[in-house]
Amino acid sequence: MAGLDPITAVANFASGIIDKIFPDKTEAEKAKAALAQLDMANEANLLFGQLQINVEEAKSSSIFVAGWRPFIGWVCGAGFAWQYALGPFLTWLLGALGHPTALPAMDASELMTILLGMLGLAGMRSYDKKSVLKNGK
């Protein structure tokens, strides 16, 4: 699976150039290993920079800086609780008490998009990196 990020695109492009510059396989492999090491160092620097940003956001006392991630998490959690637990339970309970009613339902597809964006991207990136390391490409 080809990476869609700019770093992987540049690394793939550079790898193709290395194959043309170094006809000797040993030299080409050494150059590719050096390029892969540089790519990993750049990726580590990007991750470290993002971690520093996350720490600074968490330290902030402003709700507009430190509170947006927890807010989105709580909104998604409350939406899922209503859609799959509270709403159906209240519908059943009200029906059992002789007050059948139709409570409002949410469009869970939009909620899933947000939740998967928050939770799934890291997993996809980990899978992508694992497959790259495993295949050596």
Give residue 92's pLDDT: 92
Residues 96 and 33 in one domain: no
Judgement on whether residues 56 and 78 belong to the same structural domain of the protein? no
Percent of the chain with pLDDT over 70: 70
Task: Output the pLDDT for position 64.
Answer: 64
Computed over every residue of the chain, the mean pLDDT equals 75
CA distances from 117 to 49, 71, 103 (A): 21, 15, 28
CA angle, 111 then 113 then 117, to 5°: 120
Task: Please give the residue range of the domain that contains residue 95.
Answer: 67-137
pLDDT one-digit tens code per residue, 4-59: 566 666 666 776 776 667 667 787 777 778 878 887 888 888 888 877 877 777 77
Same domain, 7 and 49: yes
Residue finishing a domain among 35, 61, 87:
61
DSSP 55: H
